[in-house]
């Protein structure tokens, strides 16, 4: 039986910085790469003020800087953003992690979410009012 989004959220490895053994994502061998966690991303998304958005690249750059790394892994960040978003969809609206502040409706990730891009557009429009 597959794990639930809640299990994936709580079962993720702790955040850490790793030294790249080979080039990856535009970084050279030996570069420091931060691997976040769903919990770290959840907290960051909750800290984004209502009505504001942040693109994933900027989010990754900020996380890398805060954790003494050269970059944050784009692959694991995408996976963790999906975990956070899918988990949020099961939360009561007033407690929901605002994943729409980072996941753009036109992004490939939005199309993978069970809610689809239309809900993201709707939630962004509600905050713009």
**Contact 103/109 with Cβ under 8 angstroms?**
yes
CATH number of the domain within which 116 lies: 1.10.10.10
pLDDT above 70: percentage of residues in the chain: 100
Q: The domain containing residue 116 runs over which residues?
A: 5-128
What's the total number of domains in the chain? Answer: 1
- Please write the tens of the pLDDT for every residue from 5-46: 999 999 999 999 999 999 998 999 999 999 999 999 999 999
pTM for this prediction:
0.94
Residue 126 has pLDDT above 90, yes or no: yes
Report pLDDT digits (tens) over 94-109: 999 999 999 999 999 9
The pLDDT assigned to 21 comes to 96
């Amino acid at each position: 039986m597959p794990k639930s989004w809640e299990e994936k959220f709580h079962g993720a490895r702790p955040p850490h910085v790793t030294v790249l053994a080979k080039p990856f994502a535009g970084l050279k061998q030996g570069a420091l790469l931060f691997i976040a966690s769903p919990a770290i991303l959840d907290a960051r998304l909750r800290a984004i003020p209502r009505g504001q958005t942040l693109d994933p690249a900027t989010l990754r750059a900020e996380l890398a800087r805060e954790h003494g790394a050269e970059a944050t892994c784009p692959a694991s960040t995408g996976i963790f953003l999906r975990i956070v978003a899918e988990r949020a969809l099961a939360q009561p609206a007033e407690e929901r992690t605002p994943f729409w502040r980072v996941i753009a409706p036109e992004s490939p990730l939005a199309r993978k979410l069970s809610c689809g891009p239309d809900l993201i557009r709707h939630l962004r429009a509600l905050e713009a009012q």
